[in-house]
Amino acid sequence: MRIPPRSRHPRERLPRRRHSSERLPRRRHSGERFSRRRRPGERFSRSLRPAALLGLGALITSAVTGVLAAGPAVPANAGCSPAWRLETPAHAASSVQDVQVLSAKDVRFTASIDFMWGGGMSESVWNGSAVTATGPQIPHQPKRGGFAGGHSSYDSPSSGWVLVTPGGGTGDVATTILGRWYGGRWTLYPGAVSSDPEKSRVRLSDVASVAPDDAWAVGDLDGNGALIEHWDGTEWKAVDNPGASSRGVQLWQVSASSAKDVWAVGFRRLPNAGAFVPYAQHYDGAKWSEVTMPEVGAPDGVASTVLAKGPNDVYVGGWRGSWGDWNGYKPLVMHWDGQKWSVDTGPAGVVSGGFMDGLYAPGPNDLWAVSGSAVLHRTGTAWTKVTPEGAQPGGPNVEGIHYFYTAVGGSGPTDVWAVGQAISTDPSPTPGTALASVHTALAHLTCGRK
């Protein structure tokens, strides 16, 4: 985790509203890591102490022993009474970027290991009883100091992709790297190259794997248009899309229910330095087309995550509010039923100051979402804020342990994962600073070992 020089929220992507002459802000790259938002005047001192971290691990584990008060967790007919627990990770100090649940006994985690513990990536697997990282790992590129993971996607246990940051963020490369899981090993492949590297760097944000010879990756060209790449079994190629030449369009996530039903979402800025509005494209097996999104009832809005379960069942999460007012962002969920959109603003009644980073829907009346430090659950039409980690030392604006969730997934209503990182802060000998340490967060809603 890198502590940036200015105060920012761990999932902050959107700064103040900019003038028409200014460049559009970029989204946090898939491989970049983040910190919690600091209080005014507070500074972080990067001091990761292994002994303290190990001790804190025991503290975190003890805090979640037994059943947690997590609110309504599953539908009444679930057949068991699941409880949240924090599973022991393969690496104690990492920021989990994504979770892909292939089955209850095959869950894949992509994480970026904190640089004070060696840096690099960690690909670990839940086998139904434990998390291990004994399998093949993504190879480290020679002469690359930085190396971090991003979003991932698998079409089967033997085929999938992970976005990779080979070094130094996005500023030192004109193309991107993707790790392919195939044939029982990882291989690095270059993404598509920008047609104008000096002005439009390639920045990928998400990937969706449909088949070994069919995968999609989305992002933007340094704020100069939407980027969509396709894997045909041999190489990644940029493909035509309606937002490719539209400055002010960025794509953040992609989801596919089949080869003929792929959705990509993000935002578009209206002309003449206008409002930011949710933006989406759909691929029907032949071409990409823009999708008319619903009004969100606020000056600005963004679509930040998408879950395509079928052509007539698509969830899009995001936020609405005013562009520069982070604390005023109100999370929301939009749903497409094949005919029309519906907008659910209910999450804003439970949490504010963030937007959706991930969605998981075990059933039509059962929806999970992660939004920064919050895990949210909707049963029917009612939203509840869930606390998988249980009571922890500290609290808002004080030193302690703070959880931030980046992704959510599961294999059913009684098997749900919410993953990310926990940051512990302690007073520093230097006045006005705090010591920060990073810890892996793997929260698991389960009925117990199978």
Q: Where are the domains of the chain?
A: 43-446
pLDDT tens profile 28-68: 444 343 333 333 233 333 333 333 333 333 333 323 322 33
Q: What's the pLDDT band for 26 if we cut at 50, 70, 90?
A: very low
Question: Spelled out in words, what is the top-level CATH class assigned to the domain 43-446?
Answer: mainly beta
Q: Is pLDDT at 1 greater than 50 in this prediction?
A: no
Q: What is the largest CA-CA distance in the chain?
A: 61
- CA–CA dist 164, 341 (Å, integer): 34
DSSP-based three-state secondary structure for 86? strand
- CA–CA dist 3, 417 (Å, integer): 26
Strands 330-336 and 341-344: antiparallel
- CA–CA dist 427, 52 (Å, integer): 13
Segment among 38-52, 209-223, 421-435 with least mean pLDDT: 38-52
Cβ atoms within 10 Å, residue 396: 8
Q: Is pLDDT at 416 greater than 70 in this prediction?
A: yes
Q: Hey, which residues does 159 pair with through a beta bridge?
A: 156, 182
How high is the mean pLDDT of the chain? 80
pLDDT tens profile 310-334: 999 999 999 998 887 877 788 999 9
CA nearest to 63, candidates 400, 389, 374:
389
**Interacting residues of 65 by C-beta distance below 8 A, sequence separation 6+:** none
Q: Hey, which residues does 202 pair with through a beta bridge?
A: 221
pLDDT tens profile 85-131: 999 999 888 899 999 999 999 999 999 887 777 778 889 999 999 99
pLDDT tens profile 5-24: 333 333 333 333 333 333 33
Cβ atoms within 10 Å, residue 303: 29
